[in-house]
Amino acid sequence: MLTAGTLFWAKAPQISEELSVGVSLHAYSEYTAGRATFTANLAGAFLPAVPVGINGDFAETCTLTRDAVRTGSIARLAEAGSAAFFVLLFPRDVIKVGRKRLWRIRDEVAASLPVDLRELLTRRRTGVVRSD
């Protein structure tokens, strides 16, 4: 989930050729006008809900991408206001599944990545990256 200055990320808890996607844009009927909360998940990997501005109609505020997602490419699946939900799918041969089914990029692939990206793809299930 990308917002202005913040990237919230989570690894899907499973490896599969088919992964479920959920997107939610919601607000209370008597809450602040023009504001809603946007969130998404991939195969049960939930991202934090983020506040977004809306222009009246929820259907016009939240756009879904129906294009095919290609392995190895970053794809935007949904967008609402100033936030967008992206996915990055990896080929199975670059993934290693470890303890508690936590997957990571194989060491020989990770070695060629910049340090910050290597940390993100080889450790932890979730995280936050903030721009300074």
26-80 pLDDT per residue, tens: 887 766 678 899 999 999 899 999 999 887 777 788 899 988 888 988 999 999 9
Neighbours of 17 (CB within 10 A): 7
- Distance set, CA 9 to CA 92, 110, 117, 125, 127 (Å): 20, 18, 12, 8, 5
The tens digit of pLDDT for each residue in 110-129 reads: 999 898 888 888 878 888 88
**pTM to 2 decimals?**
0.86
